[in-house]
Structures are given as C-alpha cells and as structure tokens.
Amino acid sequence: HGMILGEGGEKMSKSKGNVVNPDDIVKTYGADTLRLYEMFMGPFDQAIPWSAESMIGLRRFLEKIWKLQYRLTHLETKSPSGFGDLVSKLEAEVHRTIKKVTEDIEEMKFNTAISQMMILVNEMEKQKEISAVDYSLIITLLAPFAPHIAEELWSLLGNKNSVFGESWPEYNPKKIKENFFKLIIQINGKTRDILEVSDGISEEDVRALTLERENVKKWIKDKPIKRVIFVSNKLINIVINN
C-alpha cells in the first residue's frame, strides 16, 4: 500500500500529534472496518490521507449487510435473483458485482471492488425480500475484505463449513445487461475524480458513492453543498460555496 498520511495530508509523526493508533480504531469500529477501510482508501499504490469520516461510512456499510439478513426469504432458486430468462435489475447487479469484484481483486483494485459491493447492497436494500442465494453471494464476495463478519453471517445462514471453503461465485455474461463507464466527478464544474460505475446507476447511488471519495472530501471539506447536478451515465457536479 502507498503511505497512509495524516488527516491533513501530512506524514504521520508523534511530533505532529497526528498518529492514528490501529488498536484504538479496532476497539471503536472493529477489525473488519479497519481492514475494509484500508482497502477502500484509494488506489493501492498511492499515498492517501487518513479519514475518520470514511471509517464511519465503512462501518455503516457493514451494518447494512448485517441488517439484510432480516429480509431473507428461503425460497430456493438454482440461479440467483430470478427465474428462467427473466433478468431483474437486482439479478443483473449481482452478476455485474461478481464480475467486477473478481477482476478487481486480480488487479488489486480493492477500492473499486468495494464500491461495486456498495452498489449491490444499496440495490438489495430496495427489495422487500432478498433470496438466501443472493445473500450468500454477497457474503462470499465480502469474505476476503471483512472475514470476521462474513464468517459470522455465513454461520447464521446455517452453514456448518467456513465461508472460505466455499467455491468462488461465477457470473453469467448473459445476465449482465449494462456495461461499466467512467463517471466524471466535478466540484464547481472542475473535474476532481473519476468513478467507474455501471450504466443506469441511480443519482442516489452515485451521490452516496461520490461523497465517500477521498478526493471529493478533500475539496468539499466542511463547506455546505448548494446543489448537485447529475447527468445520467456521464457526470455529477457538486456545487459548493467557495
């Protein structure tokens, strides 16, 4: 990993008083949250400033996954999220996520893999019920990133074996309706970041993912957001007070 800097973008040192003690983070947020955050911070080879706010966001993400277990239906299906040739939006998102997480792990693009899992979890939250098959899939994909909560949820589903003994899921190309594109993130009309997302992603999901980006937080800081301009499949422009 590139160097993790202090919150102000400076190198951590005792003299500056900006050292983050990982033991304190684990005690407050849990080991899985810390592990997940370190992979979500940004490209693995770049120096990134520490952000306590992002840590809270990752904790909430894990809490969302935990709460999804209460929406489970144990209807058995051979294929995730659907029947026959009918492909639901959720089913397409499931297969997109399997594809992207698999490819991103191989390329060590852990931050974008986690971003895609967030999109899938947001889509699952919109459902009144989700299948145990789909829930098992998100747990399997989450396991390399947050092993403790994944193992616990896997056990709560009634599995006797470890989630790490499970075969890695495979996606069906025919069920991936949309492609990915590079969404431009602007602050006051100037490009500050680029986020790879799937076609047709909602403004709500784009906004949530954008506000978690380190580059975006660096430019916004504590300034109030006046308005957000969203152009589907193209860009999001966050207008703030200078």
* Interval 131-181: pLDDT, tens: 899 999 999 999 999 999 999 999 999 999 999 999 999 998 888 765 678
160 alpha-carbon distance from chain centroid? 27
The strand pairing partners of 186, in sequence order, are 191, 237
What value, to the nearest 5°, has the Cα angle with vertex 142 and ends 139 and 143? Answer: 85
Structural domains present in the chain: 16-175 (1.10.730.10), 180-240 (3.10.20.590)
Whole-number mean pLDDT of the chain? 83
- DSSP, collapsed to helix, strand or coil, labels residue 49 as strand
- DSSP, collapsed to helix, strand or coil, labels residue 188 as coil
Confidence (pLDDT) at 61: 95
Query: Which of 21-25, 105-109, 188-192, 211-215 bottoms out in mean pLDDT, i.e. has the lowest?
Result: 21-25
